[in-house]
Structure 1
C-alpha cells in the first residue's frame, strides 16, 4: 500500500480546485487549523484536483492529540464542537458540503452543509394598502410629499413619505411623541430567509392614540391625592394642549 504524505483531507463537494477563491481557501484553512489544534505542528499539504481537496500534514508528536480533539468535536464534547458547526455553516452558505477523512479513507467528521439546508425563499416585493404603528422621529422637506421616518414598537426604522404639507405639519406636532397608527400604500419585501419588512410607504392618513384609553387613564389619575387633574373639566383637551406645547 502506497504511503500517503498527509494525515487528513477535507473533501469539499460543490467547488473545484480551479474555482475555489483565495479568500474561501484562506477561510477554510483557518477554520481547519482551529478545529485540529496544535497549529504549529499541523501543516498544509496540497490542494488536489477535481472537487477541492485540502490535504493536511500532522507531525508525529501531536497526531494522537489531534485525533482525540477531532473525536471530541465529533461527539459534541468541548469547544471543538462549535468549530465543526462553523465549518458546516461556512460550506452551507456557499452551497457546498464535505467530509474530513483520515489517511485510511475513513470519514472522521461529516459536514452536510447545503444538503440539509432549506432552499432560500424567493425574494418578493408586494405593494398594498397597509397600516403601521410607530413613533415619528424625523420629518421635514420642501415638496408636497414630505419624507418622514418612524420607529416601530419593536425598534425597526421605516422611511415613509407623507402626502400633503398640511398633514405633515400636523404630524410634526407628534415628533418624538406617542405611537401613531399610519395608513397608506406600502411596499413590503420578503428576503431569502422568509422575513417581511416594509421598505417604503406613502402615508395618506394617521390616527392619534385611542381616546377611550385616555379617558380611563385620566379617570385613574383624578383619583390620585394631590393630583391637579381632578380640577380639570376636560383633561384630554388639556393633555393635548400641553403635548403640543412640549413639541
Structure 2
C-alpha cells in the first residue's frame, strides 16, 4: 500500500448518499478511461462531503497516469482523451457542477486537472440573418387566405414549413403539387449554440420544376449525343456503377 498513491475525482454536486448509482457509474467509467492503465488503477471508495471518487495508482504507473492528465491540461491530448474530457465536462455542466482531479498527498493536495463544467463559457447563437438561396424538395401543400400564401416542402426527413409566397406564384406552384421543386428566395436563418442552422422563414420569389428522369432515360440521353461513346458500351448501367467505385472497390 505504501507504494501506491491516491487520486481523487472531486465533483461539487451530490454526495455519496444522494448521487444516483447509474450516474456515479458513468462518472467512474469516464474517470477510468481518462486515467488509462487499467491494471494499475484500483477503486478506493467514496469519501464524505461532496462526491469524491478515490482510486489507488500503483507507484510505478503514477508518472504515466499524471502525464496523460498533463497532456489534457496543456491542450495536447490524444483524440480519445479529448473526447473523454469533453464527455466528463458535459456531464458536469448538465449536473450544474464543476470538478477536478488531484493527488491526495500527505501534506497538501496536488492539482492535476480541472473541469469547468457549469462555469465554462456557453456558446452563443447568432442571427437572424437574411440569405438569398434555394431549397429542394417535394411540394406537399400550398394554401392560405391572406396575400401571403404558405407552402410546405419535404426533403427526406426534413419538412420546410415556414415558407410563403405571393398569390400569383402560389397559383403556379399549385399546378406542381407532389412534384420535386427548387424554390428560390430569401431565407431568414439563425445559427444555434450547437452549430445547427434553423430556418425561421423563407420567402419564395420563383421556382424550378426538377427533372425526374430515370437512370435508363439518362443513359438514353447520353447515347443520343453526337460523338458520344456511350452507344458503343454494351452494359451502360454496369459502366455507371463502375464509375462510382473507388480504388478499393467501394461504391459511392
TM-score with structure 2 setting the length: 0.55
The Cα of 1:176 is off from its aligned counterpart by 3.6
Residue pairs, 1:11-22, within 5 angstroms? 11-13=10-12, 15-17=13-15, 18-22=17-21
Structure 1 unmatched ranges of 5 or more: 210-225, 228-247
**Residue 193 of structure 1: how far off its partner (Å):** 4.6
- CA distance in structure 2 between the aligned counterparts of 1:161 and 1:86, rounded to whole angstroms: 38
SS of the residue aligned with 1:50?
coil
Task: State the shift of 1:131 in Å.
Answer: 6.7
Matches within 5 A, 1:40-119: 40-58=39-57, 62-75=58-71, 76=76, 81-82=81-82, 83-104=84-105, 105-114=108-117, 117-119=120-122
Task: Determine the structure 2 residue equivalent to 1:134.
Answer: 134
Taking the aligned partners of 2:139 and 2:21, their CA distance within structure 1 comes to 47
Q: 1:148 — aligned with what?
A: 152
Mapped to 1, the partners of 2:34 and 2:138 lie a distance apart of 49
Aligned residues: 192
CA distances 1:104-147 after superposition (whole Å, capped 9, x unpaired): 043342223236622465899x8x9x676323311224865775
Distance 2:103 2:41 in 1: 14
What's the C-alpha RMSD, in Å, of the aligned pairs?
4.3
Structure 1 distance, partners of 2:126, 2:37, is 44
Instruction: State the shift of 1:47 in Å.
Output: 2.2
Inter-partner Cα distance in structure 2 for 1:51 and 1:28: 14
2:8–2:55 contact (8 Å) kept in structure 1: yes
Aligned residue number for residue 206 of structure 1: 205
Gaps of 5+ in 2: 209-225, 228-252
Is residue 156 of structure 2 the alignment partner of residue 168 of structure 1?
no
In structure 2, what is the Cα distance between the partners aligned to 1:77 and 1:180?
A: 46
Deviation at 1:85, TM superposition (A): 4.7
What SS does structure 1 have at the residue aligned with 2:121? coil
1:30 is displaced (CA, Å) by 0.7
CA contact (8 A) 1:72 1:80 kept: no
**Is residue 141–residue 177 contact of structure 2 (8 Å, CA) maintained in 1?**
no
